[in-house]
Each structure stands twice: as C-alpha cells, then as structure tokens.
Amino acid sequence: MNVNKKSITLPLIFSFLIFSMLLNSMGVIILQLSEKVSYKGLGVLESFKDIPMAVVSLFCVHLIAKTGNKNALTFSLIFVLVSCLALPIVDAFWFFKIWLSIVGVSFALAKVSVFSIIKNNFQDKELSSAISSVDASFMIGIFFVNIGFGTLLTSAYAEYWKFGFWVIALLSIITLLILRSAPIDEERNTAVVKKPGEYKYFLKPKIIYFFVIVFFMVFVEQSFNSWLPSFFRNNLKINSYFALQASAFLALFSFAGRLITSRLILRFHWLKFVLICLAAVFSILIVCQVLISFFYADYKYLLIFIMPMIGLFLAPLFPLYNSEILNNVPREKTHFLVSVVVIFSSLGSSVGSLYMAIIFHKNVSNFYPVFILFPLLIIFGLTFFLNKTPITYDRKPQE
C-alpha cells in the first residue's frame, strides 16, 4: 500500500514542480524585459496567464469528470512540453503572451486534476500530508528556476537564456512516462448530473471565507515570488544574478516549510500552525521595514538573508487552508471546488502583480514589506472565522 501511495504522489510532485518553474519564471522574465518594457506593461503581462487560467477552470470541471483526472493531467503536460520547445525558437515579445496563456490553461487542468487525484486516493491526515508534499515541490521548483536561470544569465551564454525552457520540456517528458504507469484510482461515478441548487453548497460562509483567503494568499505569494528580485535590484542595488539567488533561497525556505508541515500536520491541529506562521511572517516583515527605513546603510546585506526566511513560515499556509477545506468537502464536489480555487488564485495573482507594479511604478517600493502586511492582516482575521464556522449540510426536507 505504501508503494502505491508513493507511486501516485511521485508524478503529482513532478507535475507541480514543472508548473512551478513555468509560473514562477515571471521573476526572470520581468528582470530580462524591464529595460525594454515599463513596469506597468510587465504587471499586465501576468494577466495573460491568469485570465485564461480562471476562464478554463470554470469550463474544465465537467470535461475532466468525463475524461478522467489522469488523462487531463497528461494533456496539460503535453501542452507545456510543446510550448516550452517553441518559446526559444519564436523570438518575439508577443509570443510571451501566447506562451503564458498556454501555461495558464494547462495549469488550470493540472491543478484540478492533481487535487482530485489526491482527494480520490488519500483520506484525512494522509490527505493533508499529500497536499503539503505536492505543494512543497512547487516551492523547490521556484528554487530551481531562479538558480538555473540566474546561473545562465551570468554565463557566456546569457543571450540564450530562453533555451533554459528546454530543460523543463525534458522534465515534462520524464513526468509523462512516470504518470503513464502510476496506479491512480479514478472516481467511478463520472457522469455529471446537475441538481437544483448544486452550487449553493459553495455559498456557505466557511467556503466563502476560504475563497477570500485563497485570493489574498496568492496575492501575497505573487508579491514575493515575482517581484522580490526587482526589489533587491532596484532598492538594494544588487545585480540580477544575486537578486535571483536571494529569491531562490526564498523558495528553498518555502520548500523546507512545506516539507516540515507535511510531517507535523499528522500530529497537530492546523490552526496552531497557521497562527504561529502568520506571527512569524508579521515579525520578519516589520523587522525588514525597520531596517530599510532607519538602518539601510548598515544592514543592507542583512536584508538579503532575512527576507528569504519569510518563505519558511509563509509557504505552509496555503496547503494548510486547502487541506482543512478539502477534508470537509464531499468527493463529488472536489472538481468544482478546485476549479473555483484556481479562479480565485488567478485573480489573486493578477491583482497582486498589478498591485506591486503600481508600487514600483510610483517609486514607493521602499515600503515593500508594509504593502505586503495589509493583505496578511485580512488573512489573519478571516482565519478565525474559518476555524469557528462549520460546514453545515442541508438535510431537512423541504416544507
């Protein structure tokens, strides 16, 4: 049984690793194009990924239910494989928009499929552990993409940086081969039957709190993952290579945070983790803002080490919230739940990127930590409502 579980999680981990590298290559793209394109223009660029992701997630639910989660995940990997092969060959800015749209659509398919596979093959705390493990691979993907491209950009082959996406294409081929032989249990009742009031389930207060938290969680994560390199370069005057390496360590700390959580969540209540992590993130951001505002000259390089440590406490939050809700949602509603999560994630990503683009455009990025504190305070408040609000089931007969 343990072998089966590992053989199921391995292709899921590899899939999230691939999409992590693709989605979080925005930090590299922003650095490379910032001399040619304004920050306003780069802020809008992210919407070419997020809007298709949100739209497709609405319509892919019934399709995935009919074709199966494994097939949908396979198609998503094939799409990104072809697009990554094409990106270095088509040397034009407009193709970045098309490429990001393909990545967004593919990730929508992949995320709904992966979370549904986990729901169908794991239960209770095993489910929480599986989600944290898969999400941990998302963080290590950010580490690889920053280290890899950072190294490439400082080498003699810097002008060929886009060919780095061929490595991701190769990893996609390997993942497809592993996925093909994975013993994944599909949901047997795949017929999609619309019932009156079926979607009213997702208007329950606890689910609504969760969706708002998802929006602001991705909002905050996007503010770090895509814009931290630009903050290091513009405000701390660090070259592009070290800016990307600092972001890579943010991802490494994030990976460690999610990996530790995947083990400890089997023993402790999720709310304790969330409150401890939020308190730690608040503390680090406040310390960073004090150093930036009053001790910049003396502690400039200390910031390079302190800010990435936020990942250790920020990264566990998203899988903890996800597992809390996913454990309470009926299996037949999983596809739709994850699709709505993708929509709110996409909106959070786009709005977060626009939010940071405006901050950099207005030259107020010296208050970068403070601007990130605002959405975190909203998450902190909603967490208590999420914990205290039960998911009630409407079982009373209609009068």
Domain containing 141 equals 2-184+199-388
Amino acid at the residue 123 = Q
| Closest CA relative to residue 307, chosen from 258, 246, 367 | 246
Q: Is the pLDDT of residue 23 over 80?
A: yes
CATH number of the structural domain spanning residue 246: 1.20.1250.20
Residue 189 lies in a domain: no
Strands (E), 90-176: none
183 burial via Cβ count (<10 Å: 0-12, 13-18, 19+): exposed
For 73-77, 125-129, 143-147, 370-374, which range has the lowest pLDDT when averaged over its residues?
A: 125-129
Half-sphere exposure in the Cβ direction for 360 (13 Å, CA)? 25
Distance CA 114, CA 376 (A): 27
Q: What average pLDDT does the chain have? A: 79
Total domain count, the chain = 1
Residue 69 lies in a domain: yes
Residue 191 lies in a domain: no
State residue 395's pLDDT score: 45
Instruction: Name the residue with higher pLDDT: 233 or 18.
Output: 18
For 16-30, 43-57, 369-383, which range has the lowest pLDDT when averaged over its residues?
A: 43-57
Residue range 158-168: average pLDDT? 83
Question: In Å, how far are 17, 38, 229, 285, 357 from 361, measured between CA atoms?
Answer: 31, 8, 15, 21, 6
**pLDDT tens digits, one per residue of 192-203:** 444 545 567 677
Secondary structure class of 364 (helix, strand, coil)? coil
Output the CA torsion 134→273→144→296 (10° steps).
Answer: 160
Secondary structure class of 157 (helix, strand, coil)? coil
**pLDDT tens digits, one per residue of 231-252:** 887 777 777 667 777 777 887 8
The conformation of residue 362, written as its DSSP 8-state character, comes to T
Size (the chain), residues: 399
252 burial via Cβ count (<10 Å: 0-12, 13-18, 19+): buried
**pLDDT tens digits, one per residue of 339-349:** 788 788 878 88
State residue 176's pLDDT score: 92
55: Cβ contacts below 8 Å, ≥ 6 apart: none
Q: Is the pLDDT of residue 174 over 70?
A: yes
| Closest CA relative to residue 170, chosen from 144, 146, 147, 150 | 144
Residue 309 lies in a domain: yes
Instruction: Name the residue with higher pLDDT: 85 or 191.
Output: 85
Q: Is the pLDDT of residue 290 over 80?
A: yes
Residue 373 lies in a domain: yes
Whether residue 119 contacts residue 13, with contact meaning beta carbons closer than 8 Å, is answered with no
| Closest CA relative to residue 30, chosen from 86, 122, 100 | 100
Residue 158 lies in a domain: yes
Distance CA 64, CA 73 (A): 9
Residue 192 lies in a domain: no
**pLDDT tens digits, one per residue of 300-347:** 778 888 888 888 898 888 878 887 787 777 777 777 787 788 788 878
Residue 141 lies in a domain: yes
Secondary structure class of 224 (helix, strand, coil)? helix
